[in-house]
Chains A and B, each alone.
Chain A
Amino acid sequence: MIFAERKPIEEILEMIRGRKRVLLVGCATCVAECAAGGEEEVETLAPLLRLALKEKGQEVEIVTKTLERQCEWEFVEELTELLPEVDAVLSLGCGIGVQALAERFPEVPVYPGVNTSTLALRPEAGLWVSRCSACGDCVLDETFGICPVARCAKGLMNGPCGGTREDGKCELDEGSDCAWKLIIERAEARGELDKLKKIRAPKDWSNSRHGGPKKVVREDLRT
């Protein structure tokens, strides 16, 4: 999923300062899965905002709505009736959702209520871990299904740096395994450690954002 975390409430209050009627929009897809911007979070944040605004002596009405997906026009259209009544939108969607709303409704400011940071897996309840950096040049076939781009702090492609702790964790973060330790263990378990002897040449980053904004046209799907 696309992973995001809600911004601090003070930062959100600063963004909407001076607005009178704010539409708080959730998204029931990725940000709901990571408990940052789904319907539950929208309905929890709204009263918190109302309370904080009241304490600050600001009269602001918060209107709520959660879309199935903020990144698809078909669902975004559901906001059309509400838009004329508000003077700002606060989106708890990921960066794509915020921009979709801003693109569809350019006449009102759309503020981001979350910080979108990675593509993550939820291995267990209440835990999210980075698994993909959208580098555009997947090497998982050569790294035994463990991504060194997303999971090594330095994105190293030829083995671990010297910073692997005694317990196999990355020196940066005691909670994270050294990605290369995991790759090596899996290679060893398969009896294929020798495959990691291959020197991997510098990566081609041009299919990620480093090559410029991505735009893909599939003529076969255009009608």
Chain B
Amino acid sequence: MMLRADSRLEKVLTAGEFAVTVEIGPPRGPDPEVLHKKADMLKGMADAYNVTDNQTAVVRMSSIAGSKILLDAGLEPVMQMTCRDRNRIAVQSDLLGASAMGIRNCLCLSGDHQKASAAGKLKGHPGAKNVYDVDSIQLISILKGLRDDAVQEGGDVITAPAPFFIGAAWTPLSPPEKFRIMRLEKKIDAGADFIQTQVVYDIARFAEAVHVAHDTGLTERAAVLPGVIVPKSAGMLRYMSENVAGVQVPDELLKRMKDAKDAKAEGVKIAVELVQAIREIPGLKGIHLQAIEWEEILPEVIEKAGLLPRPRL
């Protein structure tokens, strides 16, 4: 089979292996050491590593630079790119630059609104002007154009195709739920090769949504990797359930975390169970694991979930 971008993630998925991606957040400063340390800690644990693009609209090292640092450390990045900060000129220029540096996976996102940062602990830049010249689906189309037709959005031809394995997000449990499956389809129609979902805690409801995607053939057209965030405390889980759109945590899980003598150990246990439950849902092709400001726990979760060793290609 002709590969589109020849990335490790694409090869793992094409080989029919259950893929593992994890998230690595770049630092709020210029020091590459932070990323080197995370890279050392997580090397060999996943097939690819998502590098976030100024998540929650808080300024961090760019996802392009972070991705290149991981690449140099021998880890394959999934460069996240949002529509918040770049118009179509900057988007394409950054994509060409990323491609030139060997970055092959790109996750296309709308991006957190800059006012969202004001709700967190940090100041962020709520007074910033956002861009949103294109939306995430249009961004996917742009990547597809650069890859398949070697043509820019405006119609100008580029000197060589930019081979990207194109990712998109899916939040199946946000309202209006009926449209969420249509939006997934739009993303796949636009050119998405893989999908990383909003974090899943409510397996039953999530499985229903995946069932529809599976029935309509969407899970065969793009590889769906559900998101799992390792719970760190009952408070964190409750916060997510109450404040993060599309995330509902069943009472049973909240109670387990609340009653646990060792919340972190319980969190690991829950994460492992979630991964195992997700593997039972037909149509899913991998897992996207995150541990917010707690990446050091990921090797334990991945190991206990039976996801090691990662396939050798």
Contact = CB atoms under 8 A, between A and B. Distances in A.
Interface stretch (A16-24, A56-64, A118-126, A158-166): A158-166
Interface residues of B, number: 35
A158 B183 contact: yes
- Highest count of chain B CB atoms <10 Å: which of A154, A157, A180: A154
A205 B113 contact: no
Contacts of A154: 83-84, 110-111, 113, 130, 132, 135
Nearest to A197: B182
Contacts of B111: 154
Given A154-B135, A155-B132, A171-B116, A193 B186 contact: no
Interface in A148-178: 153-166, 168, 171-172, 178
Contacts of A203: 133
B183 A160 contact: yes
A197 B175 contact: no
Interface in B40-86: 83-84
Contacts of A196: 179, 182
B211 interface: no
A126 B110 CA distance: 33
Nearest to B142: A202
Interface in A23-81: none
- The A interface, classified by DSSP as helix, strand, loop or mixed, is loop
B169 interface: yes
B182 A164 contact: no
B138 interface: yes
B198 interface: yes
A83 to B, nearest CB: 36
Interface in A180-223: 180-181, 184-185, 188, 193, 196-197, 199-203, 205
A184 B132 contact: no
Given A160-B176, A162-B174, A162-B246, 11 more contacts: A154-B135, A158-B137, A158-B183, A159-B137, A159-B186, A162-B245, A193-B178, A196-B179, A199-B138, A199-B189, A202-B133
Interface of B: 83-84, 88, 110-111, 113, 115-116, 130, 132-138, 141-142, 153, 169, 171, 174-176, 178-179, 182-183, 185-186, 189-190, 198, 245-246
Interface of A: 153-166, 168, 171-172, 178, 180-181, 184-185, 188, 193, 196-197, 199-203, 205
